[in-house]
């Protein structure tokens, strides 16, 4: 463990104003030196996978500013709780790596500060910026994306992306597949996460987003759009086509696809290694309801502590050292997720599998990071599983929506 160090005062010796500081706007370019950090220290929390990439960026930063960067390696699973617990005591870091869906809890705890990327913001995928935005304010420098997409068996159905659910099913049936499509429902538990692309294609988001892209606490999956999705789910469940089944969990899903029994599935990049016997193609999720299928996107990035004694210095490190193509490339090479840096994402998309997941992410929406999302999962998953299993779609769905709204109002 790192012992507590009293931070020295930071002497600012330039008139250049740093991105995100309260006294001004962003620098015109990411190459302008902004501060003299002689004698100051920044503490950065990261995990083992990303430690070296962060250290490389820190070395250049130390040389340029005269500051010292202390990197503390922690288990990723511990970062959020430790950050919330230690920042208010003065024992936390200036910067931590983290996932975007922590943001609601971090804001509620008052432990993160806003940042301003200035012109650098244009270098990032918009969905990554949206994910790190809360109530219209940007709270982190993004660096990676992760989502699910349509994975298909090239030998059976080719590489071409089906535009709609009906087109996909027809293509699979023409190929003589035993099952046209398979999707993980977590068995009888339900899996709203994996099903979400189909749900949004009916125009039924979990929560409504405002003009800035931030999520409100208004439930968006009620009304006619939600009922239409629920009806479709029932039509393809046990009392309908049977294509979607509560007998399928994650492992069974992968086995059915890898064995060639089903030529299409919905999965993330983490599952591709489970298909050694299949030549796969990856494409955006087809629409079932007429609108674009928008799966959840997960984003990771770097947060700034609200209690940093060296906030200007930390902003400089984030924007002008981690927010560069070189640093973003090093982070990608250390932990290969889809880059949030657009030019790098395009470059690595020379791999068609990565290109498919990127295209799906570009259609997607951030998973809500608002605290209210914690109340959604059990009710939402259970309603979907019940409908797939044969419960009345509309009444089951509306009961779920009513229960959720009651829970959120309580």
User: Does the pLDDT value for residue 165 go beyond 70?
Assistant: yes
Kindly report, as residue ranges, where domains of CATH 3.40.190.10 are found in the chain.
41-146+298-366, 149-294+376-409
pLDDT tens-digit map of 79-121: 999 999 999 999 999 999 999 999 999 999 999 999 999 999 9
Sign of CA dihedral 298, 211, 27, 315: negative
Both tokens assigned to 141 = 């420098």
Sequence-separated (6 or more) residues with CB below 8 Å from residue 7: 40, 41, 309, 310
Please give the angle made by the CA atoms of 343, 344 and 350, to the nearest 5 degrees.
100
C-alpha angle 176/182/188, rounded to 5°? 140
pLDDT tens digits for 47-73?
999 999 999 999 999 999 999 999 999
Tens digit of pLDDT for each residue in 253-302? 999 999 999 999 999 999 999 999 999 999 999 999 999 999 999 999 99
What are the structure tokens assigned to 122, written together? 């244009």
Q: 159: which residues sit within 8 A by CB, 6+ positions away?
A: 152, 281
Element (DSSP H or E) covering residue 385: helix 377-389
The residues pairing with 366 across neighbouring beta strands, listed in sequence order, are 297
SS3 state of residue 327: helix
Q: What distance in Å separates the CA atoms of residue 145 and residue 357, rounded to the nearest whole number?
A: 9
> What is the distance of C-alpha 29 from the center of its chain?
27
pTM, rounded to two decimals: 0.88
Residue of 229, 231, 314 lying closest to 20 (CA atoms) = 314
CA distances from 405 to 138, 354, 399 (A): 28, 38, 10
Fold of 41-146+298-366: D-Maltodextrin-Binding Protein; domain 2 (3.40.190)
Check: CB of residue 129 under 8 Å from CB of residue 116: no
Residue 237 has pLDDT above 50, yes or no: yes
Measuring CA to CA, which residue among 305, 316, 309 is closest to residue 106? Answer: 305
Residue 224 is encoded by which pair of tokens?
């006619």
Checking if the pLDDT of 2 tops 60, the result is no
pLDDT at residue 163 tops 50: yes
Query: Looking at per-residue confidence, does 24 or 365 come out higher?
Result: 365
Q: Which band of pLDDT confidence, cut at 50, 70 and 90, is reported for residue 34?
A: low
CA 189, CA 247: separation in Å to the nearest integer? 10
CATH superfamily of 149-294+376-409: Periplasmic binding protein-like II (3.40.190.10)
């Amino acid at each position: 463990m790192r012992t507590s160090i009293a931070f020295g005062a930071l002497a600012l010796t330039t008139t250049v104003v740093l991105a995100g500081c309260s006294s001004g706007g962003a620098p015109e370019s990411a190459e302008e030196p902004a501060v003299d950090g002689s004698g100051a220290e920044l503490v950065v929390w990261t995990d083992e996978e990303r430690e070296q990439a962060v250290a490389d960026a820190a070395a250049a930063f130390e040389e340029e500013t005269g500051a010292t960067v202390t990197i503390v390696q922690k288990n990723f699973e511990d970062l959020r709780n430790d950050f919330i617990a230690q920042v208010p005591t003065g024992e936390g870091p200036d910067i931590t790596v983290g996932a975007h869906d922590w943001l609601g809890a971090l804001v509620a705890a008052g432990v993160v500060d806003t940042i301003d990327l200035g012109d650098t913001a244009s270098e990032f995928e918009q969905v990554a910026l949206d994910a790190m935005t809360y109530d219209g304010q940007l709270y982190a420098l993004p660096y990676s994306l992760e989502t699910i997409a349509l994975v298909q068996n090239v030998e059976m159905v080719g590489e071409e992306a089906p535009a709609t659910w009906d087109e996909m099913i027809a293509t699979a049936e023409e190929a003589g597949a035993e099952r046209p499509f398979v999707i993980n429902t977590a068995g009888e538990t339900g899996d709203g996460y994996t099903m979400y692309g189909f749900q949004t294609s009916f125009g039924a988001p979990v929560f409504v987003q405002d003009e800035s892209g931030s999520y409100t606490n208004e439930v968006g999956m009620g009304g006619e759009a939600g009922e239409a999705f629920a009806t479709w789910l029932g039509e393809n469940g046990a009392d309908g086509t049977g294509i979607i089944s509560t007998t399928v969990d994650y492992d069974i899903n992968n086995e059915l696809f890898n064995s060639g029994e089903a030529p299409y599935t919905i999965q993330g990049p983490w599952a591709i290694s489970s298909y050694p016997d299949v030549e796969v193609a990856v494409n955006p999720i087809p629409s079932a309801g007429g609108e674009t299928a928008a799966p959840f996107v997960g984003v990771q990035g770097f947060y700034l502590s609200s209690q940093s004694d060296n906030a200007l210095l930390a902003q400089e490190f984030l924007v002008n050292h981690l927010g560069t193509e070189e640093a973003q490339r090093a982070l990608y090479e250390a932990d290969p997720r889809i880059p949030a840096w657009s030019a790098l994402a395009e470059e690595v998309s020379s791999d068609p599998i990565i290109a498919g997941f990127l295209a799906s992410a570009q259609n997607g929406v951030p998973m809500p990071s608002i605290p209210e999302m914690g109340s959604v999962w059990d009710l939402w998953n259970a309603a979907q599983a019940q409908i797939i299993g044969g419960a009345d779609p509309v009444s089951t769905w509306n009961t779920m929506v009513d229960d959720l709204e009651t829970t959120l109002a309580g």
